[in-house]
Amino acid sequence: MADTQVLNAEQAKGEIHEPLTPFGMSVLLGRIAHEWETRRRIFDLPIARFFNVSEGPDISIDFLGRRAATPVGPAAGPHSQMAQNIVLAWLGGSRLMELKTVQILDDLEIGRPCIDMETIGYNIEWSQELKIPQSLEEYVKAWMILDILRRWEEMTPYIGADPGPHIFDLSVGYDLAGISSAPVARFIDSMMDARQEIERLRPEIGGVFAGYRDLDFDPRIADTVTLSTFHGCPPDEIESITKHLITRHGLDVIVKLNPTLLGFERVCGIVHDTLGYESTVLRKADFDNDLQFPRALELIGELEAFAARRGRRFGIKLTNTLVVENTKGFMPDDTMYLSGPPLHVVSTTLLGELHKALPGMLRIDGQDDAPAQVSFSAGITKDNLAAAAGLGLAPITVCSDLLKPGGFGRIKPMLKSLWNSMSAAGAGSLAEWRQHQNEQASGRGAVAAYAARLHDPALNRMYTLAGNTKLPRAVDHDLQMWGCVACNFCVTVCPNDAFFRIPTPDELDADGLQQYLVLAELCNECGNCMVFCPENGDPAVIKPRLYIDEYRFEAETEQAFLIHQDPDGYWVQPNAAGAKWTGDLLLLLNGAEGFPLPPSDEEWTKSKTNSD
């Protein structure tokens, strides 16, 4: 039995406690087929949000010598942890998946709620919430499913005949001991040669996808890595880890830097004075403990040269989140991590400073042959993606914006807005778009010109406190099991696609055209749906919590339902707290759209949580 099967079995039996229990390969494929047949959606994403790369100018990028058909993707975070998240990101138009950070400590207790996107962005998450072998399996499943979907003729009208190349970029953290440990080394090795995992999962390809069972899946899933340094990682450690990843694994490496690198005074000046977030508490000690600017310049130069001597590529990523004191109290912990609009200004200013201090080093600002790639994630939205791509930043990854209503469906409008800007400038490729941006900067350099705009009070409102005070919509009504405003936000803001909706059948005595339900094994209680639900209460707790795994179900004390399936339909086993809703639930699950998992018992139970 493979590691992951043992783990999932232990987890399912309650012997280890994880917040998430991923669905197996056959369940995921069955869900895709069933949702497609019954509602023309995949993992709740409607076809109107599928991206077709062939409908506009060439926006492909070079990433460390590999091609990706678009410059965009999910940043390491909640959108790149589970297989269905990655598939959703790809359908929306992502072609560079920065996978959720994997580290040796894979049994961390994360406080809940852990995400607060009420206005800008805060979180207290860090690395993966799965065991290392489970993370491996999630990434391999996603890789295989994408290979199937890109060939599935049903998709062609919506994603085009050739959706173009995509890249999975590893993310690892946070110290050398952990990264060189046997479990993490095995994880990296397996991502670079996934033959064993692929062969283990292959027999689960069935149903309408049976014809793809013998597909020649590329076993090299990833050979690049973004090193997440997190706060307080000493410079020597960053150096040793990068060298280790290059020499031991032969990886091309991007080092993700922290915004503290800009220095305490500069960051306070931007956050408090330029942008007006006066109540955001920055602590000098957090800056003093992090990598300092002069040492960063040395490191970038040394590591680029080290990589080049070994025939490898090197780059930097701007930036990780900004460490601040937790003054909101919505999430536990004394510290929280800021992302979104203000981070965009801090990180772009840092980009400008590094660029000035490292002439000829960074591949931005028209220096297309410079040695060091610059990847970027900080407050990217549809309003600034085009500007960021015009600077030469690649890839451009997103986290906070995808946690807002619309979720993965926000990627397509971002890419369309990039296309529109390019078309208006007559640019047929990103190279031409970069050239256009440089010409517009009239000798000043596109990066400096853009950074100056972000500091101009007449132009930077969308990054300021004043531009980010609007709270999510609220109605004075207590959320109930059935009936609600039916805004669909819980479905779209959930990075794990744990929420789904079913049209209300005539026989059900409930308000609203749609009813909302939770696939409880996919919910890690991050709190994001609670923040955006207009009604009072937590949808992830109040709406019906459905399980397909009996051990997870048995551990539940609040209302919960175990869903069984047989060829005649679904049946429901409630716990004591859920008993009174069983009849209503049966009506919903057996309706025309019904439960999104397929009613074909055999394949499904065989690997419902990969535990057998």
Ligand X SMILES: Cc1cc2nc3c(=O)[nH]c(=O)nc-3n(C[C@H](O)[C@H](O)[C@H](O)COP(=O)(O)O)c2cc1C
Question: Does 242 contact ligand X by CB under 6 A?
Answer: no
- H helices present in 222-332, as ranges: 235-247, 264-268, 284-288, 293-309
CB atoms within 10 A of CB 281: 12
Decide which of ligand SF4, ligand X, none touches 487; Cβ closer than 5 to 8 Å per partner kind. ligand SF4
Residues contacting 148, CB < 8 A, separation 6+:
29, 205, 209, 212, 215
CB distance 335 to 326 below 8 Å: yes
3-state secondary structure 297-320: HHHHHHHHHHHHHCCCCEEEEECC
Give the one entry of ligand SF4, ligand X, none that residue 340 binds, where binding means its C-beta sits below a cut-off of 5 to 8 angstroms depending on kind: ligand X
224 binds ligand X (CB under 6 A): no
CB 519 within 8 A of CB 500: yes
The answer to whether residues 47 and 463 touch, using CB atoms and an 8 Å cutoff, is no
Closest by CA position to 520, among listed 547, 550, 557: 547
Query: Residues 112-151: x/- map of binding to ligand X (CB under 6 A)?
Result: ---x-----x-x-xxx------------------------
Is residue 320 within the footprint of ligand X (CB under 6 A)?
yes
Least distance CB 532 / ligand SF4 (angstroms): 6
Q: Give the shortest CB-452-to-ligand SF4 separation in angstroms.
A: 38
Tell me: does residue 102 bind ligand X (CB under 6 A): no
CB-wise, 81 or 367, nearer to ligand X?
Answer: 81
Interface residue with ligand X, options 22, 71, 77, 395 (CB under 6 A): 77
* Interacting span for ligand X (CB under 6 A) from 29-37, 138-146, 375-383, 512-520: 375-383
Report what 28 binds from ligand X, ligand SF4, none; CB cut-off 5-8 Å by kind. Answer: none
Q: Does 313 bind ligand X (CB under 6 A)?
A: no
Structure tokens at 400: 């906070």
Smallest distance, Å, CB 474 to ligand SF4?
10
**Nearer to ligand SF4 among residue 376 and residue 500 (C-beta):** 500
Residue 398 touching ligand X (CB under 6 A): yes
Interface residues with ligand SF4 (CB under 6 A) are 479, 484-490, 493-494, 496, 498-499, 516, 518, 523-529, 533-535, 539-540, 543
The one among 4, 21, 85, 101 contacting ligand X by CB under 6 A: 101
4 binds ligand X (CB under 6 A): no
Name which of 365 and 525 has its Cβ closer to ligand SF4: 525
Strand 41-42 to 45-46 pairing? antiparallel
Q: How far is the CB of 531 from ligand SF4 (least distance, A)?
A: 9
**Identity of the residue, 462 or 486, whose beta carbon is nearer to ligand SF4 in the bound complex:** 486
Question: Do the strands 252-257 and 314-318 form a parallel or antiparallel pair, or are they unpaired?
Answer: parallel
**Type of residue found at 235:** P
Strands 396-398 and 72-74, by their bridges, are parallel
Amino acid at 64: L
Angle between helices 430-440 and 411-424 (to 10 degrees): 60
- Give the residue, chosen from 25, 233, 362, 380, that forms a contact with ligand X under the rule CB under 6 A: 380
d(CA 180, CA 245): 9
If one asks whether residue 78 binds ligand X (CB under 6 A), the answer comes out as yes
- 155 lines the binding site for ligand X (CB under 6 A): no
Phi-psi region of 175 (alpha: psi -120 to 50; beta: other; left: phi over 0): beta
Nearest-approach distance from CB 572 to ligand SF4, in angstroms: 20
Does 377 sit near ligand X (CB under 6 A)? yes
Q: Which does 123 bind (CB under 5 to 8 A by kind): ligand SF4, ligand X, none?
A: ligand X
Residue 236: Cβ within 10 Å count:
11
Residue 540 interacts with, from ligand X, ligand SF4, none (CB under 5-8 Å by kind): ligand SF4
Shortest CB 114 distance to ligand X, Å: 7
CB neighbour class for 542 (10 Å; exposed up to 12, middle 13-18, buried from 19): buried
Q: Which of 410, 402, 411 is nearest to 379 (CA)?
A: 402
From ligand X, ligand SF4, none, which one binds at residue 379 (CB under 5 to 8 Å depending on kind)?
ligand X
Q: In the bound complex, what is the minimum distance in angstroms from residue 479's beta carbon to ligand SF4?
A: 6
**Cβ neighbours for 36, distance < 8 A, ≥ 6 positions apart:** 42, 154
SS3 track for 542-577: HCCEEECCHHHHHCCCCCCEEEEEECCEEEEEECHH
Summarize as ranges the residues that interact with ligand X (CB under 6 A).
Answer: 75-78, 100-101, 115, 121, 123, 125-127, 171, 228, 256, 320-321, 339-340, 343, 377-380, 398-401
